[in-house]
Amino acid sequence: MTIFTAAALVIFLAQGQRTEPTRVDGRICDYRGTVLHSVAVSVETLDGKTIASTSTQPDGTYSVSVPVRGEVRLRASLTGFVSVEKEIVVGRGVTLWDVGMAVGLLADPIWNVIQGTVVDSQGRPVSDATATISTLYGHRQISQVRSNARGEFNMRVAEQAPYVLTVASPGGNGDARLLNIREAKTAVQVTVR
């Protein structure tokens, strides 16, 4: 190998190690959609080492540069609120992570159960329908499940609050409705036409 070839190989390898800037952007609010200021947002390796951090601006937004690509853990924390974390894969460019935070609890949450049935216009069960529960304000998705062969589905939410339930049948028909969760168990029947 000539010196020229070896030098070209070193330059090629060094260029291959360069990465475009990678960052995670998002907005953090509570379940009512009120933006949260000064939320600590950290990016960690999966073994818990913090590799980047920032905090939210007065409008609830944040942007943090991430020095690596691949799987990382994002964590959002603010005194008085339950910390939120999620493992994501960070790629080239910008990755979005919008977060909804709930007021802190001293004990494990008492789950509120939503038991639903999806039927067609003749009252027959609709299997494999997608049911999604989202916050009323901010429209943050809380849970998504599919109905079983009897058209039944079960979901859990941690807080008694207003939510939006959206149900879509495999054929594309659907329904959306407001659910005001005020009891530990809420039953709902959804007709998709």
In the predicted structure, residue 3 carries a pLDDT above the cut 60: no
Domain 112-191, architecture per CATH: Sandwich (2.60)
Question: Could you tell me which CATH number the domain at 20-101 has?
Answer: 2.60.40.10
Distance CA 116, CA 112 (A): 13
In the predicted structure, residue 16 carries a pLDDT above the cut 70: no
Average pLDDT over residues 57-67: 91
Listed by start position, the domains of the chain span: 20-101, 112-191
Same fold, 20-101 and 112-191: yes
User: Would the CA dihedral through 116, 117, 121, 123 be positive or negative?
Assistant: negative
In the predicted structure, residue 107 carries a pLDDT above the cut 50: no
Distance CA 58, CA 36 (A): 7
Average pLDDT over residues 112-122: 92
Q: State the pLDDT at residue 34.
A: 82
Task: Judge if pTM exceeds 0.75.
Answer: no
Q: Which helix (H) or strand (E) holds 120?
A: none
| Alpha helix positions (H), the chain | 3-17
In the predicted structure, residue 151 carries a pLDDT above the cut 50: yes
